């Protein structure tokens, strides 16, 4: 990876181009600014994320942050516009192409964690490594869980983990493959101040150590202030 990270130093890791997202919503028919019967969640959003930077996405609840993050990861499809990751238009790829891109480039932390209920903590973290055929999946997963303070919860299933513990497993799962691009939705939303600080430090450490790009959604102004850049969205638009 040193080659690509060197050559991409001046290049945007992510380009968001005229991105709009609308969903069908009968209740919005009379009032929506966009087309009748549709709710506009994102409206013509444009910005670039430099490779290696840290970017905070902030905005009120319901402003469209999670929708935007899901689109950046190609987990959802836009109504208009596109997202380029390292120059590749991810919506010109088919579903398999996007899945391959996620597997190799992306770590994603969902606001709702999305752990697999039939796998225990260490198995959840091993999964992305196993998908890559990593021979040391268990060792790496255990070490990453240790870094988020969960060495004593390796065999716990998600339903027996607290919200903050589930969040840390989700973080470990996103970090463990050392992705060049890490997207995290409210990564400290369920954590107490001390654990949240440890997780934030870990994310910034990984960003520094590996030159990875970090995009996080946060409501915490002190976390946003520690990022090199911030974008604010209000009612689906960048402000």
Ligand X SMILES: Nc1ncnc2c1ncn2[C@@H]1O[C@H](COP(=O)(O)OP(=O)(O)OP(=O)(O)O)[C@@H](O)[C@H]1O
Binding site for ligand X (CB under 6 A): 23, 25, 39, 41, 59, 61-67, 111
* Cβ-based nearer residue to ligand X, 108 or 206: 108
Beta-ladder partners of 164: none
Total residues interacting with Mg ion, rule: CB under 5 A? 3
User: By C-beta, is 123 or 186 nearer to Mg ion?
Assistant: 186
Give which of Mg ion, ligand X, none residue 63 binds (C-beta under 5 to 8 Å, depending on kind): ligand X
User: What does 8 bind: ligand X, Mg ion, none (CB cut-off 5 to 8 Å by kind)?
Assistant: none
In the complex with ligand X, the residue whose CB is nearer, 108 or 129, is 108
For every residue of 144-178, DSSP letters joined together read: HHHHTT-GGGTT--GGGS-HHHHHHHHHHHHHTT-
Shortest distance in whole angstroms from residue 8 CB to Mg ion? 28
With tokens 């209000």, the residue in question is 234
- In the chain, which residue ranges form alpha helices assigned H by DSSP? 2-7, 65-72, 95-105, 121-131, 137-147, 163-175, 193-210, 221-226
Site for Mg ion in 105-124 (CB under 5 A): 111
Which residue, 112 or 201, is less far from ligand X as judged by CB?
Answer: 112
Smallest gap from Cβ 236 to Mg ion, in A, equals 13
Q: How far apart are CA 236 and CA 224, in angstroms?
A: 19
The minimum distance between CB 123 and ligand X, in angstroms, equals 28
What number of other Cβ atoms are within 10 A of residue 20's Cβ?
Answer: 17
Residue 187: contacted member of ligand X, Mg ion, none (CB under 5 to 8 Å, by partner type): none
Footprint on residues 181-200 left by Mg ion (CB under 5 A): none
Give the Å distances, CA to CA, from 17 to 21, 65, 184: 12, 16, 21
Q: Which is nearer to Mg ion, 21 or 147 (CB)?
A: 21
Q: Which does 59 bind (CB under 5 to 8 A by kind): ligand X, Mg ion, none?
A: ligand X
Query: Counting contacts by CB under 5 A, is residue 66 touching Mg ion?
Result: yes
The option from ligand X, Mg ion, none interacting with 152 (CB < 5 to 8 A, set by class) reads none
Query: Distance between CA atoms of 40 and 62, rounded to whole angstroms?
Result: 12
Based on CB atoms, which residue is closest to ligand X, 65 or 147? 65
8-state DSSP, 179: -
Which residues neighbour 172 within 8 Å (Cβ) at sequence distance 6 or greater?
125, 141, 144, 145, 147, 148, 150
Binding positions for Mg ion, rule: CB under 5 A: 65-66, 111
């Amino acid at each position: 990876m040193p080659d690509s990270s060197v050559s991409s130093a001046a290049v945007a890791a992510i380009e968001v181009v005229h991105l709009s997202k609308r969903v069908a919503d009968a209740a919005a028919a009379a009032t929506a600014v966009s087309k009748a019967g549709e709710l506009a969640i994102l409206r013509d959003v444009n910005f670039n994320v430099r490779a290696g930077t840290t970017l905070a996405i902030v905005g009120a609840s319901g402003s469209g942050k999670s929708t935007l993050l899901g689109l950046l990861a190609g987990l959802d499809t836009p109504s208009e516009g596109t997202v380029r990751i390292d120059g590749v238009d991810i919506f010109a790829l088919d579903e398999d192409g996007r899945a391959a891109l996620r597997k190799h480039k992306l770590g994603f932390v969902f606001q709702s964690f999305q752990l697999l209920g039939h796998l225990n903590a260490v198995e959840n973290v091993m999964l992305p490594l196993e998908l890559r055929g990593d021979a040391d999946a268990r060792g790496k997963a255990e070490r990453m869980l240790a870094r988020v303070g969960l060495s004593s919860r390796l065999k716990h299933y998600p339903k027996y983990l607290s919200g903050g513990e589930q969040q840390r497993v989700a973080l470990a799962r996103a970090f463990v493959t050392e992705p060049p691009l890490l997207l995290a939705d409210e990564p400290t939303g369920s954590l107490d101040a001390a654990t949240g600080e440890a997780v934030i430090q870990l994310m910034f450490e990984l960003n520094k150590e590996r030159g990875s790009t970090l995009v996080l959604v946060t409501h915490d102004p002190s976390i946003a202030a520690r990022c090199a850049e911030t974008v604010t969205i209000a009612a689906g638009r960048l402000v």
